[in-house]
Structure formats: structure tokens, C-alpha cells
Structure 1
């Protein structure tokens, strides 16, 4: 398993479903967020930079592709990685896959900035934070 990818699993429950019997599109946003939290949980050396609450990673754009409907009882795996690191923003690539057949359910690109919470301004990604992030970058396959 590549150390640059974080994996978290979850089971689709009845309360995740919409009137059509499949996972409501908004629930996938929650599943993706769970994947991002797990990403930082798995990397305490990175998370320590954000323990004080400033700076913070803040999502500024999310592009999501719905590939396959998940239903109650499906076990899903959320895979999260940093796909690109710029000077003022970075991009995470996430996939949700159905475990039983490894089929893609959702994929998403999330752009985030580093925010100085006190000043309410984005910051350059540099210094120790950049050094912690650089070895984690794994570009998404085209």
C-alpha cells in the first residue's frame, strides 16, 4: 500500500439513501470529508501544523463525478491523496470505490488553500508545511 494514499471504509446505511434507494448525492460529500479527516489522522506529523487552528486548510473548489449508484449494504472505500501542490493552493484527488468489485462510485478533485485564520487571508504554502506536504504528492493517473 502506498503511504501517500489514505484509505477509510464505510458501510452504506439506510439513512444515507434518497427516495430512489441509492446514496443521496450530498452524502458523498460527507464520505469525501471523512476521507480527508482520515488523511490527516493518518499523518500526525502533518496534522500538528494545524493543531492551533491557524493556519487551516480551507476548501475553495470541489469537482465531483458520480460514476455508479451505491445502495444500502454496500461497503465503500474512500481513497485520498494530494495530487498537486502549488505555491498558494493544492489539490486533493479522492475516489470512492465499491469494495466487492472495486468499481468506481465517485471521484473528486478538491482544491484547498492554506488560510491564516486570524488574518482571514490565504497564505503561501512554504516552510515546514511545504516540506511536510511535498513527499506526499502523488499525481492522479491520466
Structure 2
């Protein structure tokens, strides 16, 4: 597979009937769900799951999605979605890059970038990244 960056975290996806819109291809809302699923699984792999977020009273909340839809996905397509943490300012923000590929023909269907802001769960207000987030997310940052 030709990934945009080295060492991706990858999840496999199977396009379901409920992902398909009136135009016969995967709806853009399905892609956003897949991005979230991939980011969460990567966070879990790094030891930062919902239980840990609650314990720390912190979370990484989406502040911005930038999505380039490059080609369509169709029902029963088998896809691979990769993510990389490409920036972490060590204070408040973290950025992920995503690439969605259909392995059967090697076509990249989507590229996206999501910016996250660390918030305090109890107030919803921005708060500095706790040391546990720096230890989990920091070493995972990939540079081009």
C-alpha cells in the first residue's frame, strides 16, 4: 500500500448498506464516523481510552475537520483507513492526518486532517494536556 507517511495506524472497514446514500455511494457522514472510529482506536492503542479520559477529567475534542473527498466508496467495498498524529504542540492542540484507501485498486478515496483541542470534561473548557496525554500521544507524532 502506498501510504502518505510511514508507520500508519490502520483499521479495516467494510462499507455497509446503511453507509450508502441516495446517490449510491458512501455518504459523507459515514466518512466522518470512520475518522472518529480510527482516531479512537489509535488512542486506545496508545493507552488513552475513555476510562483514562474520565479519570483525568480531560479529552481531545475535535475543533476542526478538513476533508478532501477524492473518490467514492460503494457498498461492500473493503477499505483501509490510516491515521498519524502529525503535530502536538505539547500544550493544547494535536493534529491527525488520515488517508482512506481501497486496497483492491489502490485508490485513495479521502485525505483528511483533524485538529483536536484538549478540554476538561467537567467544564468543557480548554485545558492544558496532562502529562499522561503527552506521554501517550507525544511519542506517536510522525514527521514527514
Report the TM-score, using the length of structure 2 for normalisation.
0.85
Quick check: 1:138 aligned with 2:142? yes
Q: CA RMSD in A?
A: 2.1
In structure 2, the CA distance between the partners of 1:127 and 1:3, relative to structure 1 (3 Å rule), is farther
Structure 1 segments, 4+ long, off by >3 Å, are: 46-49
* Residue of structure 1 in register with 2:74 after alignment: 71
SS of the residue aligned with 1:108? strand
Q: Is the 8 A contact 1:9 1:77 kept in 2?
A: yes
Equivalence map 1:27-66=2 (5 Å):
27-44=30-47, 46-47=48-49, 49-52=52-55, 54-66=57-69
Alignment of 1:57-136 (within 5 A): 57-86=60-89, 87-136=91-140
The verdict on how the C-alpha distance between 1:136 and 1:4 changes in structure 2, with shifts beyond 3 A counting, is farther
In structure 2, runs of 5+ residues without a counterpart are: none
- Give the Å deviation of 1:126: 5.0
Gap runs ≥5 in structure 1 = none
User: 2: distance between equivalents of 1:120 and 1:51?
Assistant: 13
Aligned residues: 138
